Structure formats: C-alpha cells, structure tokens
Chains A and B, each alone.
Chain A
Amino acid sequence: MGTDRHFRVWRGNEAGGELKDYQVEVNEGEVALDVLHRIQATEEPDLAVRWNCKAGKCGSCSCEINGKPRLACMTRMSTFEETETVTVTPIRTFPIVRDLVTDVSFNYAKALAMPAFKPPGELAPGEYRMQQVDIERSQEFRKCIECFLCQTICHVIRDHEENKEAFSGPRLFIRAAELDMHPLDARSDREEFAQAAQGLGLCNITKCCTEVCPEHIKITDNAIIAMKERVVDERFDPLVRLGRKIFRRDRRQPASTK
C-alpha cells in the first residue's frame, strides 16, 4: 500500500527559485520520476521535468536527488527511509531553464567541436571487417546514454564556469577514446586533440564520473587514463614518434591500424 512521503522540489527559473514542500503518496516499486509525475498530475501541472523513456535508456531525466546526480527514472523510492525527506534539484553544472530542466547545450556544442569518425577510404560499405574483441573497448563507450551526469559531477566544471571553454568533460573523453580505439577510424590525432582541444590534462582522475554513470561505464579507468597514457606515449616515447614518421599511421592498412 501507498505511504505518504515528504518531497522537496526546486522550483524557479534562471532568476532564482526555492525548494517547495510536497506530501505525496508513494506506492510499491515506484521511482522518483513517478512521484514527480504525481505532483504534476495532482498539484503542479506546470512542474517542468524532462523525461522520455522511463527505463534508463534515454538519459533525459537527470537531476540531483538528495544532492547526488541521478536518473529520476532509475531512483527507486524503496532506497529511502519512509520518513526521509527526498530533495530533488536540477543538475548544478548547467544553467537553469525552469524547475528541474537545465540548458545542456554545452554538451552538444562540445560534441560539435569533436572531429567525427573518419571512414577508411579504401573500404566500400559492406567490406568492413573487425573482430569482436577489437571493438569491445569502443562498444563500452557507445553504451553512453548522454544523461550528462558525469559532466555535472565533474568538479573541473561543476563550480568552475571559467573552465568550461577549455574542458569538454568525461562524456567527450569517452567519445575521444571510442574513436581512438575504433579499429577502422582513419584519423590518427585523437590523443593530441583530446589533450590540446578537449582539456584532458585538466582531469585529475578523482573518478566521480565513473561513480555516477548509470551505464556503469568505467570512464576513468578505461577511457581517461587510457587516453592519458597514450598521450604520454605519443609525446615522449622516441620510438613511437619515429614509428609514426616512418609508417605514417594514417596510411596504414585498416586491419593493422591498432
């Protein structure tokens, strides 16, 4: 049967706002998004909350619940005590639009600046051959649902607006790593780009991004540290530098690219 719970939800816009109190019925198996929808349907029809799939697949309903960045659709009410107040606020790193909705265009702008996959020129569609084992690292990063929770928790930009220009954030680091590890991507400057244009060096591997990732992508270990190591190799290893000059990585046959 349902229980009566205390909710506090941030309401307002870019000019300011406040936490508003709600006593809401909560039923068995419900998630925080169900409760927000109940508030909409019964008390506040204009409560702004972004959502789509309600199954943890689209990454739309990102917010902060009791201060922790979460997907509202995957936050089960049974994880809170019945007497516990549940506080829902918008994700902090991005500008407020209204209530729980924020302007996440930063992430799209950074994606636009990120060089796209470059197909291998000599292969026609249908001729791509890759081994499963060779694509699994990139596939892990392609699980990303773009909820931007990693972006919002990242302390480099969370309270440092001034870093946003130079820093693309964990979401884009895994995109860089994904392309770098793609067996057939024809570009060979992914590490340099990550270092020079995405601000990879600003990350000091506190792993907060990995902790909040609802897809359990090992962002720090498998993408960021891997990319940092590759940057070091490329920059400082004389053999690698010589090898690049002789073999011209970008002209090599795709099967042996990586």
Chain B
Amino acid sequence: MTNIERHTYDVVVIGAGGAGLRAAIEARLAGKKTAIISKSLFGKAHTVMAEGGAAAAMGNVNSKDNANVHFCDTMRGGKFLNNFRMAELHAQESPARIWELETYGALFDRTKDGKISQRNFGGHEYPRLAHVGDRTGLELIRTLQQKIVSLQQEDNEEFGDYEARLRVFDECTITEVFLDGGKVSGCFGYIRESGEFVVFEAPAIVLATGGVGKSYKVTSNSWEYTGDGHALALRAGATLINMEFLQFHPTGMVWPPSVKGILVTESVRGDGGVLRNSEDKRFMFDYVPDVFRQQYAETEEEADRWYDDQENNRRPPELLPRDEVARAINAEIKAGRGTASGGVYLDVSTRMPAEVIKRKLPSMYHQFKELADVDITKQPMEVGPTCHYIMGGVEVDPDTTAACVPGLFAAGEVSGGMHGSNRLGGNSLSDLLVFGKRAGEYASAHASATKRVTVADSAVAAAAETALAPLERGESCENPYRLQQELQQVMGDLVGLIRTRTELEGSLTRLAGLKERIAKVGVTGGRRYNPGWHLALDLRNMLVVSEATARAALEREESRGGHTRDDFPAMRPEWRCINLVCTLADQSIGLTRKPVPAMRPELLRLFKRAELTKYLTEEELAEFDAIAGQGSEN
C-alpha cells in the first residue's frame, strides 16, 4: 500500500482521444488542475482512425446549410430516438468548435475562397464535413495534442513547471472509480510500463474512453476499445442507454483475412464511389427504404448528375445512412451475390481519374496497395460490414454531460443519446468536440463547488486486490486471449448486424458461462508491461458491456438503426418513445424502460407531417397537429 502513487487533481479525464483532450483543454482553461489518463501513448487514441471528417453546418460549400438542417439530418439518421437536446446543441455548436481548432493550428482542406472545405457524406443533406483528405481524425488528435502542449508551455512560463496544471499520464489504465458518500472521489489504475498502481483523488471525473468494438471479431476498433468507461460508469452506479444500438460500418476491408474489418472511409462514396455486386449491378437503388424515398435518386443517371448539380437532382443511394447500407450489403452477400471473399465491390477506379483518387483518398490508396496489393485507381475494393461504433453509452444530462452519479461526466462515444439508434458519419468528430468541451466546462464547475474529497485506504486495497488477482491465479487458470476470442465469437455470431430472439437468448447463456470463466482468468509473467495481464483486466469490462448489449437487444422487439431484428423487421412507433436503461446489480445487467425526452414544439415543426407519420405514434401525431395549429395562429 505504501508504494502506491497518489495524486490530487480537480478534474481527471479518463481517455485521451478527441473528447478527452477537448475536455481537458476546457478544464485547464477554467483554471482547474487537470489530469489526462491515456490508455496508449499520447496522441495514439482511436480518434486517429476517423477518416472522413467532422460535420458542422458552416455553410461554406452550400450556403443553404444551417444548424436546423443539421439537427433534422441527425434526428433522421438516428430514427428519431436521439436525445433531441443533444442533437440540437451539437448542430448549433459544432461550427464554433471547428473554427476554434484553426486557432490551435489545424489545417483543414480549403474551398476556392479560402474557407474550410466541406464534403458530402451519408445522411447529410448538404456538403458538411470539414476534412483533411481522408485523415481528418489524425488532424484532430494532433491539433488537440499540440494545444495541450501549448497550454503546458504557458504554465511553464508562469510556474516553471510544464505539468503544473495539466499532466498527461500515458499508458495508464483506470480500473475503478471511487465514490465517497455517493459522489465521485477519485479513481484507481495501473501504469503499463512499471505495473505500479496509481490513485487519483478528484471530485470530478470525465469519462471519455470511447467504445466497445473489441468485443467483436470483425471490427474497425483497436485493442483499447474494451468498454472501460461504460463498465466504470455501471460499477459506479451510473446508467447506460441505447446499448442495443451498434453501428456496423458498411465498408470494412474483407481481404486478406488478417485485415478483415479495417475501415474503408465513407468518403469513398461521398466523393463518387459506387457499390456493385458480383453481377456488376449497382444494387443500392433496390434498398432505399420508404422513409428516405423522397431524398434519393431512382436512376443511376440522376445519382451521377447529383455530384455536379445538387439543386436539381437527388442523392445517390450509396449515401444512405450507414445502417441502411450495411444491411443492403449484408443482404446481397446472403443472396449469393457477394464476392469470393464474402464482400461486395466498392469502386472508384471507373469514376474518377487516378490523380484525383490519390489526392482525395490518399490513405485508402496506400492502405489497399500496401495491405491487399490492390490499386484502387485501377481495381474495385472488396468491402463488407464491420463493427465500428456504439451509439449507446452513459446516460447524461444533455447540457452538462453529467451522469446520474454526482461528479461523473461522459463525452464522446462513451456517452449515449446524441446519435439515437444510428450515428451519421461525420457526427462523431463534431460530437466529441462539442460535448468534450461541455464536459470539461461542467466538470470544472462541479469541482469548484465541491469540497476536498478523499479516497479511503480500504477502497484502494480492494481495487489493488482485484487488479492483482489474475497474476496470483497464474497460468493454470483460464487464458485471457482464448476468453477474448470466445467472447468475440459469441458477439459476432449471436449479437451481430442481424439478430433474432433465439440467438440473443443463446448469447446470454454463453455470456453467463464466460462470466464464470472470466472470474477465473489467470496470467503468467510480472507486472511490467504485461499485455496478458492487461487483457485479463479488460475482459470483465468487455463482458459486462456485451451483456448490456445482448439484454437490450433481446428486449427491443423492433428494428431501428443499428438494431435489426429478423423476427421484428419493422420500425414500431411505440418503441420510438422508449429508452432501455441498463444498470448493474449483483454483477448482472438490469433493464428498465424510460421515455425518450419529447422534442420541443418549435423543433418538431422543423419536420413535415408526412415524414413524422413514419416515426411517431397516433397520439404523438395528434399532439403535433395541435401544436401545428397553434403555430399557424401565432
């Protein structure tokens, strides 16, 4: 116990991706002593994988764009299950968050008149994504990283210490959040390099840990994505919502097998790429659902004209929201019209000159050339769905990002509600900036209003014991790598893109079996940089989050966004009003139903009645009619 490092901070931010870094910047700007906990090296977070761009209605390319249009697109994309207030704040504030990055040194691609260029993306009515080629996430993380460095330099000038008010703890993993009298008092973790433990005393903690994709075999996510923040929140008594909604990105690589799942950016389609099956048919025209019929082209000719003339033509169906495209690709493959490697073709080679492809999609060009021996300027790519993003996460107050546990905040992928049942591409990078900033701001305010907190030695001892258990059990017990593979198999096979009752029930039985075995996981080796030990500790997070997803998926008897039930294939308006809230009790997930917050009348009026009839219940429509009547009288 005596050798455990202890630190005291005002705000501890767990996670060093876009949301975490933006939160930390805001907390530091508010004058708070802030710690950033990074599971990897500083600047390596999963945000670097984001390719396409950050959605913000700046109207630089099409001046008709504005926050209301962005709000409506986001709600449509999420099939109206979104927390409307989050979607509203996001649409309103994302332009300012992007412009702010330029003052930190970001260099986005430009329009002819020197403004930030914006590109088309699925579900966005106008070109809206600020981008840097197809490496926008890297630009974001590097910009925020460099802003943090600049703040540390200011502190060095003022205090003679770079880390006086802002310190990065890299390669550090948090395993417990501590409470004192029901409020956050700190957290516990280990330093990868030394294997030593570390305790942070802090009245405010921001969870910014990203997603859960590593519970799936075919995923675009890295090893870090083990649902740590989701699990920490549950264990601290907070709630999760929308956990049944996972986004399977329609285009992951499918060949060679070792790279299966690696992301192929949606920009490929935004910039003109088309999907074809093995019969060379551009099949997306067959998969435009009724709710989107009016906005999408019916012929290839119209779709192709749209790239040059968006006023007089409708969008190509390749640019439907991701859930629609993923299901369509899945259906084509199931119908026997897939490629030999189990994908479909995504082609830019016949659509753009080689030079344009290399300029607009440099990372994709290199990725395929170097990993698959495919020259995308000459050949089509082969792609298929890959687990990419979880819409569900910590239930938060939309304005403050506060979870129901005082002192706990969440921003970015780990939070829930903003994206409803399906996230639009490009809304993630803007989400993490908008709500990262808000999390930093309100965590700081909470820290200011809270007296000094302490962490009890007994709590630290218990956390240390839990963390050391796998090492003490040793090799003869369950192997963490095997358990992870089995968990990935269960989730991929039984809780994947298309779900049914029997498979979901089967998944819960299998997960219960895994739970017993994960409790007995054992590892060899010492405490210094031991990946087997780290995985053993991540497994319990992966398991509890997987259980939340499986339980919620079994409960929701409809298909909506990132949740498709083969046995309930239609969207059901009565389910639109319901959020499934996950809690943890006795190491098991419990579910309760809670109404989705009702949109304010002026926001509801942004939609046409004909569109709302596809989503709302009869009673809700009656209310809308009453409101609309009032609106016209005013």
Which A residues are within 8 Å of any B CB, using their own CB?
A: 13, 27-31, 34, 40-42, 45-60, 74, 76, 97-99, 101, 103-104, 108, 111-112, 114-117, 119, 125-126, 128-132, 135, 138-139, 142-146, 179, 182, 185, 216
A67 to chain B, nearest CB (A): 20
A98 touches B529 (CB 8 A): yes
**Besides A52-B222, A56-B371, A128-B99, 13 new A-B residue pairs in contact (Cβ under 8 A), listed by A number:** A30-B258, A40-B481, A40-B532, A49-B531, A76-B371, A98-B528, A116-B149, A117-B104, A119-B103, A130-B107, A131-B114, A143-B135, A179-B105
> What is the bound-complex CA distance between A185 and B103, given in angstroms?
10
Q: Which bracket fits the contact residues of B?
A: 35 or more
Residue from the list A41, A52, A144 in contact with B40, Cβ < 8 A: A52
B contact residues around A126 at 8 Å (CB): 58, 95-96, 99
Q: Mark B289-333, 1 if CB is under 8 A from A, else 0.
A: 000000000000000000000000000000000000000000000
Determine if B99 and A31 form an interchain contact, defined as CB atoms under 8 angstroms apart: no
Contact of B481 among A41, A56, A116, A142 (CB under 8 A): A41
Task: Describe A's contact surface by its main secondary structure.
Answer: loop
B191 to chain A, nearest CB (A): 11
Question: Within the assembled complex, what's the spacing in Å between the Cα atoms of A111 and B149?
Answer: 8
Closest to A139 in B: B107
Least CB distance, B130 to chain A, in whole angstroms: 12
CA of A144 to CA of B145, assembled, Å? 13
CA distance A75 to B259 in the complex (A): 12
Query: Is A146's CB under 8 angstroms from B99's CB?
Result: no
Residue of A nearest to B256 (CB): A29
Q: Indicate if the CB atoms of A60 and B532 lie closer than 8 Å.
A: no
Contacting residues, chain B, for A128 (C-beta < 8 A): 99, 102-103
The yes or no answer to B523 lying at the interface (CB within 8 A) is: yes
Question: Is B146 an interface position by the 8 A CB rule?
Answer: yes
Most chain B CB neighbours (cut-off 10 Å) among A28, A56, A57, A101: A57
- B609 contacts A by Cβ under 8 Å: no
Q: From B479, which residue of chain A is reached at the shortest CB distance?
A: A45
Distance in Å: Cβ of B366 to nearest Cβ of chain A: 7
Q: A27-B257, A30-B256 are in contact. Are A131 and B110 (CB under 8 A)?
A: yes
Give the A-B contact count at a CB cut-off of 8 A: 173
Listed residue (A56, A59, A74, A128) with the most chain B CB atoms within 10 angstroms of its CB = A128
B residues with CB within 8 A of A: 40-44, 46, 48-49, 58, 95-96, 99-100, 102-105, 107, 109-110, 113-115, 117, 132-133, 135, 138-139, 142, 146-147, 149-150, 152-153, 162, 193, 222-224, 255-259, 262-263, 363, 366-367, 370-372, 479-482, 485, 523-526, 528-533
17 examples of A-B residue contacts, CB within 8 angstroms = A45-B480, A45-B525, A46-B530, A48-B531, A51-B222, A52-B40, A52-B44, A55-B49, A56-B366, A56-B370, A76-B371, A97-B193, A130-B107, A135-B110, A142-B139, A142-B142, A145-B48
| Least Cβ–Cβ distance between A137 and chain B, in angstroms | 10
Which chain A residue shows the least CB distance to B535? A45
Instruction: Determine if A47 and B531 form an interchain contact, defined as CB atoms under 8 angstroms apart.
Output: yes
Shortest beta-carbon distance, A15 to chain B, in Å?
A: 11
**Residues B531 and A29 in contact, CB atoms below 8 Å apart:** no
| Cβ contact within 8 Å between B257 and A28 | yes
In Å, the complex CA distance between A48 and B535 comes to 12
Complex alpha-carbon distance, A114 and B135, angstroms: 24
Contact status B531-A55, CB under 8 Å: no
A117 to chain B: which residues have CB within 8 Å?
Answer: 104-105, 146, 150
Q: Which residue of B lies closest to A45 (CB)?
A: B532
Q: Are B370 and A53 in contact (CB under 8 A)?
A: no
- With A51-B223, A97-B193 as contacts: A56 and B149 at CB distance below 8 Å: no
The answer to whether A57 and B138 touch (CB under 8 A), given A41-B481, A111-B149, is yes
